A = this chain, B = another copy of it.
Amino acid sequence: MSSSWGDKLRISIFGGSHTQAIGVNIEGLPAGETIVWEDLLVQMARRAPGQDRTATTRREPDEPQVLCGLLDGVTTGAPLCAMIVNQNQRPKDYSQLKYLPRPGHADYTAQVKYGGFQDVRGGGHFSGRMTAPLVFAGAVARQLLDRRGVAVGSHVVKIAGCDRADPAFDPVGLTKETLDRLNREYFPVVEPSVREAMRVAIERARLDQNSAGGQVECAILGLPAGLGDPMFDGVENRIASLVFGVPAVKGLEFGAGFAVSERLGSENNDPFYMDGGQVRCRTNHAGGILGGITSGMPVIFRAALKPTPSISREQDTVDLRTMADAKLRVTGRHDPCIVPRAAAALEAAACVAALDLLLSN
């Protein structure tokens, strides 16, 4: 079921880039949870388009409307469905995409799968815009997590074309304060000066009719040890099955991640020690997950995001009407770099996964 995810907490996402509305139905929320609307809007704003030149110039207020599930701002235990009306539509921009698929985008595979009936406008259900309902669900989950002592945050580690990287999270000493500062920012970085360098690189790509990939690191702090299940229902499996649903993600690693493949056991094992009556690890190469189960250390993952495939310079493609080689010049509004906004989506995925884990326990 492509657009549904979850176990005790379940989300079902609907909509497309230019449909009348997009949204999400959230099942399994406990009753009696107050949802603070302002905090929710903070998260929506982090992902909303049109904020600065690093993002698409499309402007959408992205104000969600709750259709059900809240009574006086408190969850009722029934499904909570929220809708975001698509106001700013320019469907004409996309007319050619049905026959001239954009390299790197889902235009071609959607054409094969749906036989030409798919909604090509703005990528339809494959649009990065589909992360708006995910961010909504994550923002709801985040408030419940916060009450249970769990914090989620992320930062942009690198942007293609920028030779500076943001310093990685301290996987052992990471604090809630750091995450709570980052998780309200539009373009979160640990070291503020890096942000400007990254913006320059994105702007350079934009002016060059190009786009830039990047990498985001995300952390979940405060999960108790013992959550998750062995084999296919481990914390890594669950997060992965959500995170690869964020468009453009092509790689995912936990803790030391790919670096483990360069290491010996004595370098990679995280020694246990007692810390004030609590079992902790001196290092956290495992990213807080052992055997698929939380260890009580911070859960840390990094996702690689490809550059937006929609670039305005001319590209080679095929014409699906004539089945001949063709040239394509993409018009319309597109993000030169999705990475800063994707941070909000990846955090949302982490929030949804973390709450599902807590509720499934």
- Asked if B304 and A253 make an inter-chain contact with CB atoms under 8 angstroms apart, the answer reads yes
- Asked if B112 and A250 make an inter-chain contact with CB atoms under 8 angstroms apart, the answer reads no
Q: Bound state CA distance, A280 and B31, in angstroms? A: 24
Identify which of B12, B74, B311 contacts A4 (C-beta below 8 A).
B12
Return the CB mask of A1-44 against B: 1 if under 8 Å, else 0. Answer: 11111101010111110011111010110011000000000000
Identify which of B15, B31, B247 contacts A117 (C-beta below 8 A).
B31
- Given known pairs A161-B264, A258-B258, A264-B160, the reply for A108 and B272 (CB within 8 Å) is yes
Chain B residues near A315 (CB-CB < 8 A): 266, 269, 271
Return the CB mask of A33-63 against B: 1 if under 8 Å, else 0. Answer: 0000000000000000000000000000000
- Asked if A252 and B240 make an inter-chain contact with CB atoms under 8 angstroms apart, the answer reads yes
Nearest CB of B to A238, in Å: 8
Chain B residues near A255 (CB-CB < 8 A): 250
Return the CB mask of A108-134 against B: 1 if under 8 Å, else 0. Answer: 111011111111000011100010000
Which residues A46-93 have CB closer than 8 A to chain B? 65-69, 71, 74-81, 83
Q: Which of A142-150, A169-177, A178-186, A205-213 contacts B (4 or more CB under 8 A)?
A: A205-213
Q: Bound state CA distance, A269 and B101, in angstroms? A: 12
Chain B residues near A6 (CB-CB < 8 A): 1
Return the CB mask of A300-320 against B: 1 if under 8 Å, else 0. Answer: 000011111111010111101
Q: Bound state CA distance, A247 and B211, in angstroms? A: 36
- Asked if A106 and B68 make an inter-chain contact with CB atoms under 8 angstroms apart, the answer reads no
Identify which of B83, B114, B277 contacts A67 (C-beta below 8 A).
B83
User: How often does this chain occur in the complex, in copies?
Assistant: 4
- Given known pairs A67-B21, A103-B271, the reply for A293 and B212 (CB within 8 Å) is no
Q: Is A347 an interface residue (CB 8 A)?
A: no
Q: Bound state CA distance, A277 and B323, in angstroms? A: 7
- Asked if A79 and B15 make an inter-chain contact with CB atoms under 8 angstroms apart, the answer reads yes
- Given known pairs A230-B2, A234-B2, the reply for A251 and B262 (CB within 8 Å) is no
Identify which of B74, B103, B324 contacts A269 (C-beta below 8 A).
B103
Nearest CB of B to A104, in Å: 4
- Given known pairs A78-B119, A79-B12, A281-B103, the reply for A215 and B272 (CB within 8 Å) is no
- Asked if B274 and A110 make an inter-chain contact with CB atoms under 8 angstroms apart, the answer reads no
- Asked if A65 and B272 make an inter-chain contact with CB atoms under 8 angstroms apart, the answer reads no
The 4 A-B pairs at the shortest CB distance, nearest first, are namely A106-B291, A2-B229, A251-B253, A19-B68
Some 11 contacts from A to B, beta carbons below 8 A apart, are A10-B12, A15-B81, A20-B66, A20-B67, A160-B263, A213-B262, A240-B244, A256-B306, A261-B305, A266-B311, A266-B313
- The residues of A with any CB-CB pair to B shorter than 8 Å are 1-6, 8, 10, 12-16, 19-23, 25, 27-28, 31-32, 65-69, 71, 74-81, 83, 101-106, 108-110, 112-119, 124-126, 130, 157-158, 160-161, 205, 208, 210-215, 225-226, 229-234, 236-238, 240-242, 244-245, 247, 249-274, 277, 279, 281-282, 285-287, 290-296, 304-311, 313, 315-318, 320, 323-325, 360
